[in-house]
Amino acid sequence: MDFKSFKEMLKRIFFVIFTAAVLACHAAPKPQPIVEGITNVMPDEQQRLVIKEVVNLIESYNYKKIQINDSISSLILDKYIKSLDQGKNYFLASDIKEFEKYRYTLDDDFKNGDLSAPFYIYNVYAKRLNEYFKYSLAQIKSKYDFNQNDTYVYDRTKMPWAVSTTALNETWKKRVKYELINLSLAGSTEEKNIETLTKRYQNLQSQTSKTNNQDVFQILMDAFTESIDPHTNYFVPTRATEFNEEMSRSFEGIGARLQLENEVVKISEIIPGGPAFKGKQLSAGDRIIAVAQGDGEFVDIVGWRLDVTVTKIKGPKGTKVRLKVIPVGQEMSSKPVIIELVREKIILEDQSAKKKVKTITTNGKDYKIGIISLPAFYADFKAANAGDKNYKSTTRDVKKLVDSLKNIDKVDAIVMDLRGNGGGSLVEAISLTGLFIDKGPVVQVKDLRGKIEVDEDENAGVAWDGPFGVMIDRLSASASEIFAGAIQDYGRGIIMGSQSYGKGTVQSSIDLNKLVNPSMLQKVAGLITRDRTVGTSPNAANPADVNLGQINLTMAKFYRVAGSSTQHKGVTPDVVFPSLYPMDKIGEDTEPSALPWDVIPGSNFKAVANLAAVKAGLIKNSEQRIANSLDFKYLKQDIAELKKRDAEVSVTLNENKLKAEREAQEAKSLARQNELRALRGLPAIKKGDKITKQDAFDFIEDESLKVMGDFMQQSGNYVMNLGNSTSQKF
C-alpha cells in the first residue's frame, strides 16, 4: 500500500502540532500526594510531554475523530483501576471512593501533562499489594485444616470492594491455603510446600518492588488508548522495541531466550543460527550473573529486572559482549565461566512461515496437499529501507515455500493456515494475496478524511494457480482477514474454519522522536535532567538519550474488494467448523470501544470463479463428517463445560473433595484420549504418561484437508480464470 504522500502530509502536520505543544508554556503539575510506607513511583518530564502529545494526536488524527472529554476520563479511570486490580483483591472501598475525585479530571490533566493522579492511584495499589505480601508470607506457616468444607472465592469481580484490610485478610489467607493444597496434591511434603510458597511470594515481592515509572506509564497508557479504540496503542521504548522486533521477526544480540528464576537470569533456549548456537559455549539452564560491554568492566546483574538485563545483553551486530556464567547443574557458589560473543542479527525462523506436506485419500484417490503455516504478516522494514536485498518478509518466505511445494514436492493443492495469525503488515497482506491472484484490487482503505483508496496487486501472474484453501479461526485478525476476504471475494479458494476476529482497522506506527526537531529534543533532555531527582529515568544529558516511545494510531479502516468491512463481523468461512475459542469472549464484537461494521461500494475487481455451486457440496459433506466425528463431539462438550466453569467464582478448600474432583477430571480426560488414540491405531496411555509430539492430532487441520479433497473432486472440469496464467481444470 502506498501511504507515502499521505504520510508525508501527516508528518508535516504532526511536526507543527508537536513542536507547538513543546514550545507552549510549561505548567507545573499539581503536587502528587505521597503514600506513606512505600517508595513512591513518580512520573518524569518526558512522560508528561508524551501524554500531552498523545492527546493531540488522538484528537487530531484518530479515525473516530474523538475528543478527550469527561466521558473518556471516566472510562480511563475505570479501565485503569480494573487493570491494576481486576479481581478486587487489593483496593479497599475507601480507596475507590477517594479515587472518584479524579473521574472527570483526567482529560484536563492529560492535556496539561499532569500525571499526578494516576501515579498516586498506582502507589496506593502498591501499598495494598505490599500489605498482601507481608500478611500472606506470615500466614504460610499457619496450621490449616484441609478437611474443612470452606471455599475460596477466586473471582471477586462482581462483588463489592472490601471495606477493610481485615476483610481482605480472610481472602488472602484462603488464597494461601488454596496454594498449599495445590502443592500438597502435587505430592510434596508439608515442609517443602512451605519453603516453595515462601520463595514464590518473596520472589513476587522482590519483582514488584522493582516496578518503575515506565511500567506504570505503560499500564496507564493502555487504559487510555483502549478507551479510545481497541487497537490504538502507545508503547514505552522497551515495548516499542519488542513490537518492532516481532514485526521484523529479527533482532540483534547473542541469540538466546532468557527468563528470571529466583532473582537470577537463566537461559531458557538457544536460538538456532545465532552466536550462542554457533559458539556452543552456552546451554539452556546456564545462569548469567554479570555482563560486560566489549572489554569493559563486568556489571553484576543478579536481582535485576529481566528487561533491563536483556537490554545489556542485546546490542548492535558486530559488537562484543562478555558474560559471567554459572553452567547448568553447578552451584551458584561455583566459579563462573567467562564467555565472549560477538552479536549478530538473529532471524527468528521458528516464528516464520513453514511448510509441510500431507497425503489424504478421497474416494480412493490420493492427493498431496502442501500446508503453509503463517503465524503473522511480518516484514523487516528497517532492513528494506536500508537497501538490504535479502530483507525478511512474509511474501518472500511464502514464495520460496510455494516454489518448493510446486516444483519439488509436486503437491496437488496448497492450504494457507492462518489460525492464530493476529495480522501485522498491511503491505504484506496485499503482496501475499498477489501470489495467488493475477493483477487486481486486494483491499480498500478509507482514511480519516473519508477518502477511499483501492490498493492493488500490481504484479502480473501468480505463484500458485492450482486448488487453494485458507484456514482461519477466531484468532485470525486484521491482515489475515484481508487475505482471506480477498481470496473469498475472488473465488480463488475455499475458506475453512470459524468466524475470524473482526479487526478491520489500520494503524500507523509513529515514532514520537521523529516528530520533534533536534532543538526540541535538546530542550526535553534538559528538562528530564533537571527532574532526575524525582523520576526514575536515566540522566538525559543529550537528545540521543531521549526516547519518547511509539504510538500505533488507528487512522483508517479497510474494506474487502466487494465493499464489506471485516470490522466487527470478520470473515465467515465458506465451510464453518465449531470454534475452539469462545465466540462471546474473544473478538472485536466483544470490545466496547470498537468501531462499527459498515459497507462501501465495491471496487472494480473481476472474480476468477464462482464457487457457490461447489461450496454447497463441501458444506454438506463436512457437516456429515463433523456430526460423526469423536473429536468434534468432545470439542462441543468442552465448549459446554467451559461455559459452565466460566460462571463459577469459587473453589472448595477441602483437600479430599478437590482431589476427588481433579482425579475424576483426569480419569475422564485419560479415557477420552485413549478412545481417540484407539481410533487412530495408537496404543493406550496410562496416567502420568506424556503424549509425544508425533502423537498429537490436529483434527481441525484434518477436516480442512478432507474439505480440500472434496473440493478437488467436486470441481471436476471447473475452470478458473487466472488472467495470463493457464486456465486450470481441477
Over the stretch 128-137, which tens digit does the pLDDT of each residue have?
Answer: 999 999 999 9
Does 5 have pLDDT greater than 70?
A: no
| Domain enclosing residue 264, as ranges | 250-347
Q: What is the pLDDT of residues 435-475, one digit of tens each?
A: 999 999 999 999 999 999 999 999 889 999 999 999 999 99
- 471 burial (CB, 10 Å; 0-12 / 13-18 / 19+) is buried
| pLDDT of res. 544 | 67
Nine-digit cell string for 128: 495494598
Catalytic annotation, pick one of 503, 557, 569, 706: 503
Query: In terms of Cα–Cα distance, which of 364, 367, 315 is closest to 341?
Result: 315
Residues near 473 by Cβ (< 8 Å), separated by ≥ 6? 419, 420, 497, 498, 500, 579, 580, 581, 700
Distance between CA atoms of 459 and 38, rounded to whole angstroms?
Answer: 62
Q: What is the pLDDT of residue 233?
A: 95
Radius of gyration of the chain (CA): 28
Q: Is residue 531 part of a domain?
A: no
Q: Both 461 and 608 in a single domain? A: yes
Same domain, 506 and 584: yes
The verdict on 508 and 640 lying in the same domain is yes
- The reply to whether 536 falls in a domain is no
- pLDDT band at residue 2 using 50, 70 and 90 as cut-offs: very low
State whether 333 and 441 are in the same domain: no
Residue 532, pLDDT score: 41
**CA nearest 412: which of 360, 359, 368?**
368
β-bridge partners, 559: 444, 565
Bridging pattern class, strands 320-326 and 287-293: antiparallel
**Is 317 within the bounds of a domain?**
yes
Q: What is the CATH number of the domain that holds 259?
A: 2.30.42.10
Q: What share of the chain is helix, strand, coil (3-state, %, to 5)?
A: 45, 20, 40
Give the model confidence (pLDDT) of 314-351 as tens digits.
988 899 999 999 998 887 777 889 999 999 988 776 67
Greatest Cα pair distance, the chain, in angstroms, is: 80
Q: How far apart are CA 308 and CA 701, in angstroms?
A: 41
Q: Is the pLDDT of residue 15 over 60?
A: no
Question: pLDDT, tens digit, for every residue of 659-685?
Answer: 999 899 989 999 999 999 999 989 999
Helix (H) or strand (E) holding 270: strand 264-270
B/e letters for 357-393, b = 16+ CB within 10 Å, e = fewer, are eeebebeeeebebbbbbbbbbbbbbebbeeeeeebbb
Whether the per-residue pLDDT at 226 is higher than 90: the answer is: yes
- 164 as an active site residue: the answer is no
Options 489, 569, 622, 704, the catalytic residue: 489
pLDDT at 241 (0 to 100): 84
Q: Would you state the pLDDT for residue 522?
A: 74
* CB 80, CB 225: distance < 8 Å: no
Residue with the bigger pLDDT between 527 and 32: it is: 32
Residue 483 has phi, psi (to 5 degrees) of -65, -55
Average pLDDT over residues 193-203: 91
pLDDT at 1 > cutoff 90: no
Residues 343 and 362 in one domain: no
Instruction: Give which of 611, 677, 626, 709 is closest to 365, Cα–Cα.
Output: 709
In a domain, 10, yes or no: no
Catalytic residue of the set 184, 248, 425, 478: 478
Lookup: cell for 26: 510549561
**pLDDT surpasses 60 at 529:** no
Q: Are strands 650-652 and 151-153 parallel, antiparallel or unpaired?
A: antiparallel
Domain annotation covers residue 244: no
Write out the three cell numbers for 726. Answer: 493457464
Q: Are residues 555 and 459 in the same domain?
A: yes
Q: Whole-number mean pLDDT of the chain?
A: 88
Burial class (CB in 10 A: 0-12, 13-18, 19+), 134: exposed
Q: Which of 157-171, 258-272, 620-634 has the lowest mean pLDDT?
A: 258-272
Report the SS3 class of residue 93: helix
245 assigned to some structural domain: no
pLDDT in tens, 40-63: 999 998 999 899 999 999 999 999
SS3 per residue for 300-357:
ECCCCCHHHHHHHHCCCCCCEEEEEEECCCCCCCCCCEEEEEECEEEECHHHCCEEEE
Q: For residues 336 and 315, is the Cβ–Cβ distance under 8 A?
A: no
Grid coordinates belonging to 65 = 475523530
Domain with residue 587: its CATH number is 3.90.226.10
Residues 614 and 634 in one domain: yes
562 domain-assigned:
yes
Q: How many CB atoms lie within 10 A of CB 48?
A: 23
Alpha helix locations (H) across 475-531? 479-490, 518-530
* Cα–Cα distance measured from residue 534 to residue 29, given in angstroms and rounded to the nearest whole number: 13
Whether 75 shows a pLDDT value over 80: the answer reads yes
267-296 mean pLDDT: 89
Q: Residue 607: pLDDT band by 50, 70, 90 thresholds?
A: very high
272 lies in the same domain as 403: no
Q: Look at phi and psi of residue 374 and say left if phi exceeds 0, alpha if psi is from -120 to 50, else beta.
A: beta
Kindly state the percentage of the chain with pLDDT values over 90. 66
* Residue 192 covered by a domain: yes
DSSP H or E stretch at residue 635: helix 630-646
pLDDT at 183 over 80: yes
Residue-wise pLDDT for 150-178, tens only, equals 999 988 999 999 999 999 999 999 999 99
- Tell whether 602 and 706 lie within a shared domain: yes
CA distances to 164, 253, 484, 505, 700 from 471, rounded to whole Å, are 52, 35, 8, 21, 9
Q: Based on the domain organization, do 221 and 258 belong to the same domain?
A: no
How far apart, in whole angstroms, are the C-alpha atoms of residue 218 and residue 115?
12
Please tell me the predicted confidence (pLDDT) of residue 246: 77
Domain boundary among 316, 347, 378: 347
Cβ atoms 572, 616 nearer than 8 A = no
C-alpha cell at 125: 495499589
Considering the domain architecture, whether residues 571 and 712 belong to the same structural domain is answered as yes
Alpha-carbon separation of residue 226 from 102, 217, 232, 551, 570 (angstroms): 18, 14, 7, 12, 20
Q: With a cut of 60, say whether residue 236 has pLDDT above it.
A: yes
The predicted pLDDT at position 348 comes to: 74
Is residue 564 within 8 A of residue 255, CB to CB? The reply is no
* Active site (annotated) includes residue 508: no
CA distance 143 to 474: 46
347, 375, 407 - which closes a domain: 347
Backbone torsions φ then ψ of 523, nearest 5 degrees:
-65, -40
What pLDDT is recorded for position 81? 98
Residue 478 is a catalytic residue: yes
Please, are residues 412 and 467 in contact by the beta-carbon 8 Å criterion?
yes
By three-state DSSP, how is residue 290 classified?
Answer: strand
> How many domains are contained in the chain?
3
Give the residue from 326, 347, 368 where a domain finishes: 347
Residues 363 and 334 in one domain: no
Distance CA 293, CA 70 (A): 49
